[in-house]
C-alpha cells in the first residue's frame, strides 16, 4: 500500500494506511523489545539529510534504519554539505538519489520536501520542512495517543503554544480530523493556527474551537499537545520576547484540568512545561519520543518495500 511512496504531509494519508503503519510499528516494537535482530532492510542505504538542527528526529530515524539492518549515510549539519557552497537543493538531491534507496530530509524551507521528491526517483520522507509539515512526528504522536488512550478518535485535544510556526501541529491536525477528534486551539493572537489550515481542517469535517483561555480548554480536554514557541522563525527578537512565556503548564494547572489528561509535546521543551509535571503519570512526552523509533522503522520498511 505504501511501497515507493513519498511521505510529504499528513493530508495524504487514509485511515487504512494509518492503521497499517500503527500495526507495523507495534509489531516492530514487540520484536525489538524481545531482543530480535531484524534484517528487513539489509543491503539498503538510507540517506539522512538534516539541514536544520535535530536530536530526536535524526537519531530515531538513524536508529530505525540501523535496527532494520540498513546502512545510513548522513549530513547532520548544513555547513558540512555542499549546500554551503551554493549548490541547489535539486542538485544535492539528484546526487544523493544515486547513492541511497530512501532519502530522509529536514530543511528550513517550506515546500523543500516536495522539491526533493520531484528530483528523486527513490522515496523521500519529509522530516520537517520549515514551518510547513512534520508528518513522521504526527505519526508517532498518533501512535502515542493509541498507546496512552487506547483509541485514535472520539477525544478532545487542545493544541497549545505556537500554532502559527509549529509544523508538528500543522501535521497532527489532519490526523485528528481524520480520526474524528475535537480540537481546541489555544495560542496568543499573534501565533494562531494559519487560517488556511483551520479552514482546510473544517472542510474535512473537523470540529475546532479557538480561544486564549488555557484553563477552560484543559478542563474539557482528554489530551493537551504543548508546543515550543519557535524562536528560530521570528524575524524580530522582540516579538519572540513578548510571547515566549505566555503559556506554561505546571502541576497546579494539571490539578484543575480534566482528570487523567494526557500531556504530549514533540520536544525539545524550553520552559512551556514545568519540570514538576514530569512525574505526573499522564506526562507522556518522553515515552512519545521513544515511540519515534518504531514508527520510523515501520515507515522505512513499508516505503522501501522491505516488508
Ligand atoms: C519539532 C520540530 O522539529 O518541528 N521537534 C521534533 O522533531 N521533535 C518541534 C520543535 O522543534 O519545537
Provide the pLDDT for residue 19. Answer: 98
- Nearest CA owner, ligand 1 atom 12: 228
Fold of 10-132+292-303: Rossmann fold (3.40.50)
pLDDT band at 173 (very low <50, low <70, confident <90, very high): very high
Look at residues 92, 132, 87, 73 and name the one whose alpha carbon lies nearest to residue 108.
Answer: 132
CA distance 255 to 265: 19
CA distance 147 to 59: 22
**How many angstroms is it from 25 CA to the middle of ligand 1?**
21
- Nearest ligand 1 atom to the CA of 57 is 7
Distance of CA 162 to the CA centre of its chain: 15
Residues of the chain with CATH 3.40.50.1370: 10-132+292-303, 135-288
Instruction: State yes or no: is 56 an active-site residue.
Output: yes
Check whether 187 has a pLDDT greater than 90. yes
Tens digit of each residue's pLDDT (9 = 90 or more) over 1-52: 999 999 999 999 999 999 999 999 999 999 999 999 999 999 999 999 999 9
Three-class HEC string of 46-108: EEEEECCCCCHHHHHHHHHHHHCCCEEEEECCHHHCHHHHCCCHHHHHHHHHCCCCEEEEEEC
Tens digit of each residue's pLDDT (9 = 90 or more) over 239-284: 999 999 889 999 999 999 999 999 999 999 999 999 999 999 999 9
43 grid coordinates:
543491503
Tens digit of each residue's pLDDT (9 = 90 or more) over 242-251: 999 889 999 9
CATH class of residue range 135-288: alpha beta
Look at residues 78, 90, 73 and name the one whose alpha carbon lies nearest to residue 52.
Answer: 78
Q: Is the peptide bond before 197 cis (omega within 30 degrees of 0)?
A: no
Tens digit of each residue's pLDDT (9 = 90 or more) over 84-94: 899 999 999 99
CA distance 32 to 99: 28
Determine the average pLDDT of the residues in 180-201: 98
Q: Which of 57, 136, 144, 262 does the annotation list as catalytic?
A: 57
Does the Cβ of 137 fall within 6 Å of ligand 1?
Answer: yes
CA distance 78 to 258: 43
Is the CB of residue 179 less than 8 Å from the CB of residue 152?
Answer: yes
Provide the pLDDT for residue 83. Answer: 86
Q: How many CA atoms lie within 13 A of 193 on its CB side?
A: 28
Amino acid at each position: 500500500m505504501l511501497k515507493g511512496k513519498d511521505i510529504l504531509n499528513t493530508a495524504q494519508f487514509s485511515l487504512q494506511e494509518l492503521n497499517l503503519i500503527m500495526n507495523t510499528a507495534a509489531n516492530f516494537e514487540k520484536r525489538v523489545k524481545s531482543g530480535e535482530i531484524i534484517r528487513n532492510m539489509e543491503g539498503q542505504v538510507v540517506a539522512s539529510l538534516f539541514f536544520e538542527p535535530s536530536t530526536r528526529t535524526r537519531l530515531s530515524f538513524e536508529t530505525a534504519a540501523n535496527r532494520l539492518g540498513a546502512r545510513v549515510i548522513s549530513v547532520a549539519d548544513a555547513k558540512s554539505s555542499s549546500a554551503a557552497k551554493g549548490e541547489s537543493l535539486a542538485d544535492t538531491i539528484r546526487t544523493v538519489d544515486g547513492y541511497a534507496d530512501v532519502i530522509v530530509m529536514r530543511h528550513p524551507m517550506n515546500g523543500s520536501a516536495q522539491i526533493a521528491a520531484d528530483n528523486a526517483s527513490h522515496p523521500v520522507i519529509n522530516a520537517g520542512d520549515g514551518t510547513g509539515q512534520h508528518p513522521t512526528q504526527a505519526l508517532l504522536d498518533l501512535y502515542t495517543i493509541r498507546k496512552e488512550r487506547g483509541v485514535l478518535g472520539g477525544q478532545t485535544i487542545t493544541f497549545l503554544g505556537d500554532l502559527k510556526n509549529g509544523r508538528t501541529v500543522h501535521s497532527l491536525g489532519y490526523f485528528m480530523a481524520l480520526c474524528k477528534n475535537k480540537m481546541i486551539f489555544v495560542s496568543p493572537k499573534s501565533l494562531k493556527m494559519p487560517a488556511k489550515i483551520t479552514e482546510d481542517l473544517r472542510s474535512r469535517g473537523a470540529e475546532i474551537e479557538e480561544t486564549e483561555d488555557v484553563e477552560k480548554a484543559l478542563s474539557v480536554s482528554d489530551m493537551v499537545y504543548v508546543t515550543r514557541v519557535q524562536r528560530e522563525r521570528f524575524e524580530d527578537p522582540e516579538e519572540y520576547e513578548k510571547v515566549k512565556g505566555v503559556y506554561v503548564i505546571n502541576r497546579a494547572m494539571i490539578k484543575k484540568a480534566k482528570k487523567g489528561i494526557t500531556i504530549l509535546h514533540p520536544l525539545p521543551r524550553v520552559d512551556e512545561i514545568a519540570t514538576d509535571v514530569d512525574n505526573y503519570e499522564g506526562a507522556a512526552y518522553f515515552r512519545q519520543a521513544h515511540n519515534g523509533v518504531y514508527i520510523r522503522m515501520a515507515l522505512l520498511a513499508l516505503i522501501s518495500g522491505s516488508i
